[in-house]
């Protein structure tokens, strides 16, 4: 399979960098805070393409080479970007799959623009912020604003602890491998990522609003998620009428990387059942 070629589109007055691979019903994948769309290439893109889907990956605003929009933006802007990309690609409605902030964008898109969403899959999602989440987000913003750089080994350890299952980290060889992977590809907080972090200030509960979502929906919780504990995903599933819920064991916030076969199976089964 040839690798998809990066492209750019002018959407909502900014540049969105995206890649498309495969043929069949359109699947658009939405990444979380600070992460580029290429993260999906490791596991989800090949599986979805093999299953007969046309897959679009993109970099959210705030992540170069998409426009960084460092002076700020809203969650609604990111929702509109995703809708605009689906319309630009011309094969909508699409299955939309998001994780973390990307899942929040996905459920807001399903609410605001059901005309462009064939089905929504939300991984490691949430409908409200907890005090602990708000404290972590405030700390991340403060580190950037005060120009504090953590030692790379310590940052890798914190990232692994917050995003991987204890089962993964209990194996010394696995833990070393993950620490190496995280250390080789650290998440750099650029001005655009700092603008994404600002989205987490003053968040209010959206659970009541999600009762109006009508598109087919699947919520997937990761049982060992420390960043967004699994009860938050269950709250979203309970709020969306007729939403399906699945929980992946031995998976932290990076569950789509830790347990890709199970996560891919859930996504593909959902899409296949709603492929009409």
Residue 221 sits at φ, ψ, to 5 deg, of -100, 150
Statement: residue 256 has pLDDT above 80: yes
Domain spans of the chain, in order of start: 7-273
Statement: residue 193 has pLDDT above 80: yes
Pick the catalytic residue from 66, 67, 100, 129.
100
Statement: residue 38 has pLDDT above 60: yes
The third-level CATH classification (topology) of the domain covering 7-273 is: Rossmann fold (3.40.50)
- Give residue 39's pLDDT band: very low, low, confident or very high (50, 70, 90): very high
pLDDT in tens, 82-121: 999 999 999 879 999 999 999 999 999 999 999 999 999 9
- pTM recorded for the entire structure: 0.95
β strands within 2-74, DSSP E: 7-11, 14-21, 26-30, 54-58
Residue 187 pLDDT:
75
- Give residue 3's pLDDT band: very low, low, confident or very high (50, 70, 90): low
- Give residue 183's pLDDT band: very low, low, confident or very high (50, 70, 90): confident
Q: Known catalytic residue: 88? A: no
Pick the catalytic residue from 17, 67, 165, 253.
253
Q: Please state, rounded to an integer, the average pLDDT across all residues of the chain.
A: 94
User: Percent of the chain beyond pLDDT 90?
Assistant: 90
Q: Known catalytic residue: 100? A: yes
Residue 96 sits at φ, ψ, to 5 deg, of -120, 125
pLDDT in tens, 229-247: 999 999 999 999 999 999 9
Residue 48 sits at φ, ψ, to 5 deg, of -70, -40
Q: Known catalytic residue: 185? A: no
| C-alpha span between 268 and 272 (Å, rounded) | 6
Q: How many residues does the chain have?
A: 276
- Give residue 165's pLDDT band: very low, low, confident or very high (50, 70, 90): very high
pLDDT in tens, 40-98: 999 999 999 999 999 999 999 999 999 999 999 999 999 999 999 999 999 879 999 99
Side-chain half-sphere exposure of 239, counting CA atoms within 13 A: 23
Is 37 within 8 Å of 65 (Cβ atoms)? no
């Amino acid at each position: 399979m040839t690798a998809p070629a990066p492209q750019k589109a002018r959407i909502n007055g900014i540049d969105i960098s995206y890649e498309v691979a495969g043929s069949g019903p359109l699947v658009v994948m939405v990444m979380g805070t600070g992460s580029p769309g290429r993260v999906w290439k490791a596991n989800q893109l090949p599986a979805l393409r093999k299953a007969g889907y046309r897959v679009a990956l993109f970099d959210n605003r705030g992540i170069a080479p998409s426009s960084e929009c460092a002076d700020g933006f809203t969650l609604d802007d990111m929702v509109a970007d995703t809708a605009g990309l689906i319309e630009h690609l011309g094969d909508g409605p699409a299955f939309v799959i998001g994780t973390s902030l990307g899942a929040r964008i996905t459920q807001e898109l399903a609410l605001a623009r059901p005309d462009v969403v064939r089905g929504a899959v939300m991984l490691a999602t949430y409908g409200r912020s907890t005090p602990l989440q708000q404290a972590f987000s405030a700390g991340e913003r403060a580190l950037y604003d005060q120009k504090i750089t953590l030692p790379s080994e310590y940052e890798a350890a914190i990232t692994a602890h917050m995003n991987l299952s204890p089962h993964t980290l209990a194996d010394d060889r696995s833990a070393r491998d993950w620490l190496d992977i995280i250390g080789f590809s650290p998440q750099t907080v650029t001005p655009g990522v700092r603008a994404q972090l600002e989205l987490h200030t003053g968040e209010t509960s959206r659970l009541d609003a999600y009762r109006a979502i009508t598109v087919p929906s699947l919520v997937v919780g990761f049982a060992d998620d420390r960043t967004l504990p699994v009860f938050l995903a269950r709250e979203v599933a309970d709020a969306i009428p007729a939403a399906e819920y699945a929980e992946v064991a031995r998976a932290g916030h990076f569950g789509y990387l830790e347990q890709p076969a199970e996560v891919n199976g859930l996504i593909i089964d959902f899409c296949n059942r709603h492929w009409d």
